[in-house]
Amino acid sequence: MNSPQTCLEIRGLDVHHGQLRAVTDLSLTVAERQVVAVIGANGAGKSTLLRCVAGILPASRGEILLDGVDVTRLPTHRRVALGIASVPEGRRLFGSLTVEENLRTGAYRHRAGPWDLAAVTELFPWMADRRRQRSSQLSGGEQQAVAICRALMSNPRVLLLDELSLGLAPVVVTRMYEALPRILESGCAVLLVEQDVSKALAMTDQVHCLLEGRTVLSGAPADLDRKSVEAAYFGIDRREAG
Partner 1 sequence: MGLLNAVVQGVLLGGLYALYAAGLSLMFGVMRIVNLAHGDLGVVAAYVALVLVTHTFLPVWAAVVVTVLLSAVAGYLLQRLLLQRSLSSGPLATLLVTFGLSVILQNVLQELFSADTRSLDTGTFATAAIHLGEISVSYLGLLGLGLALATIVGVQLYLSRTATGRMMRAASDDPEVATLVGADARHVYAVATSIALASVALAGMVFAMRSSFSPTIGSMSLIFAFEAVVIGGLGSLWGTLLGGLGLGLAQSIVGYYDPADSILAGHLLFLAVLALRPQGILAARGT
Residue from 88, 141, 213, 235 touching partner 1 (CB under 8 A): that is 88
Instruction: Output 73 or 77, the one with its CB closest to partner 1.
Output: 77
68 phi and psi angles, rounded to 5 deg: 85, -5
Integer CA distances (angstroms), 142 to 40, 121, 187, in order: 26, 12, 24
Indicate whether 131 belongs to the interface with partner 1 (CB under 8 A). no
Q: Which is nearer to partner 1, 147 or 200 (CB)?
A: 147
Residue 63 in the binding site for partner 1 (CB under 8 A): no
- The residue from 39, 49, 52, 80 that contacts partner 1 (CB under 8 A) is 80
Question: Whole-number minimum distance, CB 87 to partner 1, in Å?
Answer: 9
- Using CB under 8 A, pick the residue from 61, 109, 131, 214 that binds partner 1: 109
* Residues with Cβ within 8 Å of residue 175, at least 6 apart in sequence: 141
> Please, what's the b/e burial string for 69-98 (b: 16 or more CB within 10 A of its CB; e: otherwise)?
eebbebeeeebbebbbbbbbbebebeeeeb
Q: Identify whether the C-beta of residue 212 lies closer than 8 Å to the C-beta of residue 44.
A: yes
Binding residues for partner 1, total number by CB under 8 A: 29
Q: Which candidate, 85, 122, 86, 117, places its Cα nearest to that of 100? A: 117
Closest to partner 1 by CB, 97 or 117: 97
Question: 73 in helix, strand or coil?
Answer: coil
* Binding residues for partner 1 (CB under 8 A): 54-56, 75-77, 80-81, 85-86, 88, 92, 94-97, 101-102, 104-109, 134, 136, 150-151, 154
